Structure 1
Amino acid sequence: MWTHKAWQGRLVAHPLPTHERLRHYAGWCTAVEGNTTFYATPSRETVASWAQQTDPDFGFVLKLPRVVTHERHLGDVDEPLRAFLHAIEPLGPRAQALWIQLPGSFAPADVATLARFLRRLPTTHRYAVEVRHPAFFVDSRATALLARTLAATSTEWIPFDTTTFFARPPTSDAERDAWTKKPRMPLRSEALTDRPIVRYLGCDDPDRTSAGWQRWVATVADWLHEGRSPTLFVHTPDNADAPVLARRFHDDVRARVPALAPLPEPPSVQPLTLF
């Protein structure tokens, strides 16, 4: 995500060599979603470069490979899971959580499979699960079953809040594209562990996006007062201003929790010249 084209030359310097791009992103935010690991397990050398570009307290929330979650449905996954865990070792404490995003077909009847999978995972990492089947949000028995299963292994439940985005019809090409691809998820705001993770999808309008996240400002402030360490990722349909919006969210939380440390100062970006 830190190589997003819309940020180059505007939020981060351009051109930048590959081994410097994450370093510049880390000047804006203190955590990142590792979505590319869903499509392919990176090499240890690549992951070592990520570690070299970030401080030890920078957080990666890395998605498990799709061969584990979507193709083999959490069964017979020892080999690809072992390869993935070996590859991310260079991150050390930066591997904040391993993100188990399950397909919409994963239903309450499959929770027993998830429970077996979670019990076999090494305790050297924290884990967080994202589900998309509507029953987990509207059926109280399914909600309770999944929450108990996750809590038994100190696994977090990641909510993906798309309610603001779907509150009004799309008005741009980026919004129309996201309208067909993003899940319409009911709102959930309960934390199961001391390190909750939230994914929030806004819209093109930054003020609407900000208005929609105010409930999360209150929730995150409460979590901080309880001694938890939450992470919230801000998305929009094109993500062009996502780092700016993430910092705006952080400022909103700091207004309620003044003791919260400020984010790092972003690197200066020199305008492009012809010479």
Structure 2
Amino acid sequence: MWTHAPWQGRFLPHPLPPGERLRSYATWCNAVEGNTTFYATPARSTVESWARQTTPDFRFVVKLPKSITHERRLTGVEEELRSFLDAIEPLGPRAHALWVQLPGSFAPTDLGTLAAFLRRLPRSHRYAVEVRHRAFFDDARSVGLLERVLAGVDAEWVPFDTTTLFQSPPTSDAERDAWTKKPRVPRRSVALTDRPIVRYLGRDAAERTIEGWRQWIGTVAEWLREGRSPTVFIHTPDNADAPMLARRFHDDVRAVLPEVDPLPEPVAADPLTLF
């Protein structure tokens, strides 16, 4: 996301060489979703550049490639998994969690496959699983079975909260596109581990996005009081204002818990001049 074109020259200085964009983004937010890894395993040299641009406490939540999760559906993936783990090794402690996003067709009947896959993963990483099959939200038995599978390896369940998006019909092209692609599932706000991860999708109108995350402020504050270390990703359909909104969410949590550390001061979007 740190290369998102609408942010260049607005939130991030422009022009910036590719090897400096993440460094600039990291002054706005202290975590990032690794979505690009879903489409292809990055070169190790690319990951080394990510590590150089961030401090050791910066958080990457890195998505496993779709060849593992969607095409092979967690079966017979030893070679692909080995290549992926080798590629991301330079992140070191920055790899906050490896994110196993499963397709909507991955159902409760597939939980045995998920359990076997998770048990084979190296314990040197933390893992987080996102499911989209409706049964995992509507059927109490399926919920319990998935929670037991994840608890067995200390893996987190990543909720993708799209309830604000689907509250009323879309009003922009980006919202209409999101309506056709994003999962329509109930909000889930249960943490299984000490590192809960939340993905929240609002609307293109900032005020509607802010209104929709009110419940999460209380939930995140409670997790912090319990000694957990949550990571929250704020999205809108067009993501045009996402860095600003992420900082606003952080400020809203600090308004409830002032002891939470502030985010770093972002770099100026415009180059400094003498005039």
TM over 0.5: yes
Q: Secondary structure at the match of 2:224?
A: helix
Following superposition, the deviation at residue 272 of structure 1 comes to: 11
2 CA distance for matches of 1:167 and 1:271?
Answer: 41
In structure 2, what is the equivalent of residue 12 of structure 1? 12
1 CA distance for matches of 2:103 and 2:74?
Answer: 11
2 CA distance for matches of 1:160 and 1:24?
Answer: 27
AA paired with 2:216? W
2 CA distance for matches of 1:173 and 1:208?
Answer: 17
Q: Secondary structure at the match of 1:232?
A: strand
1 CA distance for matches of 2:171 and 2:251?
Answer: 28
Q: Secondary structure at the match of 2:96?
A: strand
In structure 1, what is the equivalent of residue 122 of structure 2? 122
In structure 2, what is the equivalent of residue 265 of structure 1? 265
Q: Which structure 2 segments of 5+ residues have no match? A: none
Matches within 5 A, 1:231-270: 231-270=231-270
In structure 1, what is the equivalent of residue 222 of structure 2? 222
Following superposition, the deviation at residue 8 of structure 1 comes to: 0.3
1 CA distance for matches of 2:224 and 2:94?
Answer: 20
2 CA distance for matches of 1:244 and 1:118?
Answer: 35
2 CA distance for matches of 1:215 and 1:74?
Answer: 34
Is 1:83 aligned to 2:90, yes or no? no
AA paired with 1:216? W
CA deviation string 1:29-87 (max 9, x = no partner): 00000000000000110000000000000000000001100011101000000000000
In structure 2, what is the equivalent of residue 43 of structure 1? 43
What value does the CA root-mean-square deviation take over the aligned residues? 1.1
Matches within 5 A, 1:15-164: 15-164=15-164
Q: Which moved more, 1:187-196 or 1:263-272?
A: 263-272
AA paired with 1:52? R
1 CA distance for matches of 2:242 and 2:87?
Answer: 28
AA paired with 1:192? L
2 CA distance for matches of 1:57 and 1:132?
Answer: 30
2 CA distance for matches of 1:86 and 1:16?
Answer: 28
Q: How many residues align?
A: 273
What TM-score do you get using the length of structure 2 for normalisation?
0.98
Following superposition, the deviation at residue 271 of structure 1 comes to: 6.8
2 CA distance for matches of 1:230 and 1:201?
Answer: 17
In structure 1, what is the equivalent of residue 2 of structure 2? 2
In structure 1, what is the equivalent of residue 209 of structure 2? 209
Following superposition, the deviation at residue 182 of structure 1 comes to: 1.0
AA paired with 1:243? P
Following superposition, the deviation at residue 181 of structure 1 comes to: 1.1
CA deviation string 1:163-185 (max 9, x = no partner): 00100100111111111111112
Q: Secondary structure at the match of 1:88?
A: helix
In structure 2, what is the equivalent of residue 192 of structure 1? 192
Q: Is the 8 A contact 1:9 1:271 kept in 2?
A: no
Q: Which moved more, 1:139-148 or 1:175-184?
A: 175-184
CA deviation string 1:213-240 (max 9, x = no partner): 0100000000000000000000000000
Q: Is the 8 A contact 1:9 1:272 kept in 2?
A: no
AA paired with 2:244? V
AA paired with 2:17? P
CA deviation string 1:88-117 (max 9, x = no partner): 000000000000000000000000110000
Identical aligned residues as a percent: 71
Q: Secondary structure at the match of 1:14?
A: coil
Q: Which structure 1 segments of 5+ residues have no match? A: none
2 CA distance for matches of 1:102 and 1:74?
Answer: 9
2 CA distance for matches of 1:183 and 1:136?
Answer: 12
Q: Secondary structure at the match of 1:96?
A: strand
AA paired with 2:227? G
